[in-house]
Amino acid sequence: MKKIFLIRHAKSSWDEPWLRDHDRPLAQRGLKAAPIMGKRLLKKEIFPDLIISSTAERAKETAILVAKELGTNNQKIVLESSLYHAPPSTYLKVIRQQPESIQTLFLVGHNPGMTDLIQNLGVDLDNLPTAGICGFTCLANTWKEFSKENSQLIFIDYPKKST
């Protein structure tokens, strides 16, 4: 059964306000939160076949820190420029283009597109917090069929949520 985990990048730093938005790294809070969320995935025994991340620095750092906690090789991380501040339609396009050999997919991206996608998939969620994860099972046989009708929520988790 195919599973997808939507991961919002961890908290970004505003210490260098002259940096382009795309180049902002993680803040100290983000550097702590991403590994915490990776450990929670490890505890649930959730391991990615592929991690697709926005090219933004904060998203890349989040992907690397989560992968490290899972013992996942960084070669499983693919950077996708279209995910930078993407609307839900772009996330769906990326999901639906994945090869059928991928069973567990992680997407690391940004709000508001990520929260909008989660809402479009039928989940009542005001906002996916930074470093938050929302997991779905794809009830269809192919990624091409991934949709609201063919998905089921597994869980929503975020750093400040009690475990």
Contact present, 3 and 139 (Cβ < 8 Å) = no
The secondary element (H helix, E strand) that includes residue 12 is none
Q: Which three-class secondary structure state does DSSP give residue 50? A: strand
DSSP string, 104-153: EEEEEE-TTHHHHHHHHTT---S---TT-EEEEEE-SSSGGG-SSTTEEE
Q: Is 58 one of the annotated binding-site residues?
A: yes
Contact present, 65 and 38 (Cβ < 8 Å) = yes
Annotated binding residues for substrate, as ranges?
58
